[in-house]
Amino acid sequence: MTTLSLPRPAQGVWPGLFTTPRSPLRARIAESLFRSAVRTLPVTVQLPDGTTWGAGGPVMHLVRPAAFFHRLGADAKIGFGEAYMVGDWTSNELADVLSAFAARLTTLIPPRLQAMRRWAERRHPASEVNDVAGSRQNIHRHYDLSNELFAAFLDETMTYSSALFENQDLDLHAAQLRKIDGVLDYAGVRAGTRVLEIGTGWGALAIRAAERGATVTSLTISAEQRKLALDRVRDAGFHDRVTVELRDYREERGRYDAVVSVEMIEAVGAEYWPAYFSMLDRVLAPGGRVGLQAITMPHDRMIASKASYTWIHKYIFPGGLIPSVRAIEESLRDHTRLRIVETRSFGHDYAETLRRWRDTFLTRWDEVERLGFDDTFRRMWEFYLAYSEAGFRVEYLGVQQFAMAERLGH
């Protein structure tokens, strides 16, 4: 069993989390705004004395209302999730409660206060910038937690991205292979194709490409993922077709017939999108194709939120930014010879994927706990998976696969 270095509260993983911030004025303002927001929201907010707020629906239990509003007043985008982590509020219908909030996310705060967001919201720490060194550290904080942790709730492909369901009866393993095949088909991967994969994960896509007769160079900056991916490639009998390199995408200098990348662009950061897309263009041989899968969000929401530092950044994906389809199109136009030639969208499949992951994670919590993870981590990941599911449910988030090829005339 792998020895864990993260996350152990005794080593400072939860610094300051259990100290409730104190600002009576901010707490009163937060309570007033919260009560106004939930008045017409399809939720039931239940207080300890039995009082309820909201228009009725899934129940959100306010266990410690005073602490909850102090956290909300200190930083609403971070405090709401932290309050769940420490038990200030709870719910047996977490994804349903979060979906109700997510559906009204852009209208919960009155317009006159929205204009003050840029003054009140926290900015991303300079330490989380996605240069080569920063990217390695950001990826380490999430993907190097423990291979055993991810194995506990993922399917046997160890695929940590949206599945593509033909129907809701399809098992997760089959749906993940269907997704991988979709990306490989978009990139035109077949026998003899030289493939570059950006973001190895635990090797499922590289193995699937090798099964088609392709040769694969796969890049990762996660040491833990590389270790297990190499084992899986060897066990599958493709060590002669698949190379897994611990290398940043900016350092790649090869030439390939196809480039594939699944849900890696979200970790690049807007300031490095030009470098990312220029690299796709640089390494792609004439006539080659790109198969890309990306989480996306509407362009106006991306612009409004790109500078915000959120709970997801602090606890799950430091340095991350979800692009819009328009941002991808503009990056291709400005920095490459490539264009999008085909797309498919399947955001509701991501909601279903996340629901299955969360159910499995909670069902197998005893196994995860034995790895050294504590109850605060359990609540953090339960919130993360439900929060993400809610975003896809209400279409605040989407997921797309893109086929890219050279623009005509190039």
Domains observed in the chain: 9-120 (no CATH), 128-406 (3.40.50.150)
Mean pLDDT of the 275-289 span: 97
Token pair listed for 148: 């055993």
Q: Which residues contact 152 (CB under 8 A, 6 or more apart)?
A: 360, 361, 364, 367, 368, 371
Q: Is 263 or 12 the better-scoring residue by pLDDT? A: 263
Angle 185-188-189 (CA atoms, 0-180°, nearest 5)? 85
Q: Are strands 89-90 and 338-345 parallel, antiparallel or unpaired?
A: unpaired
For 104, counting Cβ atoms within 10 Å of its Cβ (0-12 exposed, 13-18 middle, 19+ buried), the class is middle
Give the per-residue pLDDT at 3: 37
Per-residue pLDDT at 1 exceeds 50: no
Write down the pLDDT at residue 5: 43
Number of Cβ within 10 Å of residue 374's Cβ equals: 15
pLDDT in tens, 290-317: 999 999 999 999 998 888 889 999 999 8
DSSP letter string, 309-328: --HHHHHT-TT--PPPHHHH
352: left (phi over 0), alpha (psi -120 to 50) or beta: alpha
**Where is average pLDDT lowest: 87-101, 118-132, 268-282, 391-405?**
118-132
Alpha carbon distance 262, 158 (integer Å): 13
- The pLDDT, as a whole number, for residue 307 is 82
Omega of the bond leading into 7 within 30 degrees of 0 (cis)? yes
pLDDT at position 397: 97
Structure tokens at 176: 């993940």
The average pLDDT across 393-402 equals 97
Q: What is the pLDDT of residue 360?
A: 98
CA-wise closest residue to 98 among 62, 59, 54, 48: 59
Query: pLDDT tens digit string along 232-278?
Result: 999 999 999 999 999 999 999 999 999 999 999 999 999 999 999 99
Distances (CA, A) of 235 to 160, 203, 230, 360: 20, 11, 9, 25
Q: Tell me what percent of the residues of the chain surpass a pLDDT of 70.
A: 90
- What pTM was estimated for this model as a whole? 0.92
Name the strand (E) or helix (H) holding 297. Answer: none
- DSSP strand E in 178-320: where? 194-198, 215-220, 242-246, 256-262, 284-296
Copy the structure tokens of residue 220: 């990762």
At 89, list the tokens. 């509020």
Chain segment 375-390, per-residue pLDDT in tens: 999 999 999 999 999 9
Closest CA to 401 of 190, 260, 302, 194: 260
Inform me whether the pLDDT recorded for 11 exceeds 50. Answer: no
What does pLDDT average to over the chain?
90
Written as six digits, the tokens of 369 are: 């706990």
- What is the reported pLDDT for 132? 74
Residue 10 clears pLDDT 60, i.e. is over it? no
pLDDT per residue over 117-176, tens digit each?
554 566 666 666 767 776 767 677 777 788 999 999 999 999 999 999 988 789 999 999
Quick one: 50 exposed, middle or buried, by C-beta within 10 A (0-12, 13-18, 19+)?
Answer: exposed
